[in-house]
Chains A and B, each alone.
Chain A
Amino acid sequence: MSLLPLFEWLGRSLLGAFMQRSSYAFAAAEMLHLLGLAGLGGGVLMINLRVLGLGLTVEPAARLAKELLPYLAGCLATMAATGLMLVAAEPEKCYYNAAFRVKMALLVCAVVFSALAQRRWLERKAVAVISLLLWVGVGLAGRAIGVI
């Protein structure tokens, strides 16, 4: 099953029409997306570096993760909302963009992996390294959408 109709529908929706017509909405959404990156990336980094023995080492990793969770969830929601706006602005370009596909696949892996790690294996160093690699991969692929 192709997801192309979904992308086409998003482009024709109210949000798509707004994003394509406004001269400032795309730039504003991009800026908010970057602010979300600062918050989410910073938080993910600090939790995983904590497991590796760097940064916020006073609190146990599990407690640090629990404490930062609402903040990380807020940043992820901001990135998802602004990301949807950016896709709505140019849905077909995103659909056929290889970097976009890689990013979405890595994003699903990173979120699922983090959620599982949070439950059980958070304190293991290998888990922290894999988590960091997945999130950096999401960032790299995301940056590549505009380059390729």
Chain B
Amino acid sequence: MLPFCQWLYGSGLGTAIRESIWIFPIIETVHVLGIALLAGTVSLLDLRLLGFILKGQPVAQVARQVLPLTWAGFAVMAVSGFLLFSAEAADSYGNTPFRIKLVLMGLAGLNALVFHRNPVTRLRARVAGGCSITLWAGVICAGRAIAYFSKQP
């Protein structure tokens, strides 16, 4: 993957974002506020799975209402995240928190997939909700840590 990261870093897109004073912080701001749309909506569904909120509604009904917004949040985060990555791809490749973040996101996706593929029981819902909210909290913390471990000024 390193050659791809180096290519993206050196591409016109990566260079333009890196060399502009304003573009990087603007995309970063979108990425940070997008947390509310993605992780904020996921956490509400997780809290329902855990049985803390919206107990008057079935899980499937809450999921049906929340998930379109979650996917919108995911799209915002994926696009802004890719643009930020393109500006520092060569550095991100070896960045430990960045790698941890990708692994945690993969696990969060896997957790959701396993939950959807199996019949819902109360225990399964609680385990899936607990894993999901923990993993997404980890994604946010690892994401913040990327800059602390960055070699760029």
Contact = CB atoms under 8 A, between A and B. Distances in A.
Interface stretch (B7-15, B31-39, B108-116): B31-39
B15 to A, nearest CB: 21
| B interface, over-half SS | helix
A76 interface: no
Given A59-B57, A143-B32, A42 B37 contact: yes
Chain A residues touching B, range: 20 to 34
B132 interface: no
A37 B38 CA distance: 11
Given A31-B141, A71-B47, A38 B36 contact: yes
A137 B62 CA distance: 28
Chain B residues touching A, range: 20 to 34
A111 interface: no
Contacts of A35: 137, 140-141
B56 interface: yes
A45 B73 CA distance: 12
Interface of A: 27, 30-31, 34-35, 37-46, 49, 54-59, 67-68, 71, 136, 139-140, 143-144, 147
Interface of B: 25, 28-29, 32-33, 35-37, 39-44, 47, 52-54, 56-57, 61-62, 65-66, 68-69, 136-137, 140-141, 144-145, 148
Given A34-B140, A59-B54, A59-B56, 4 more contacts: A31-B140, A35-B141, A37-B35, A42-B43
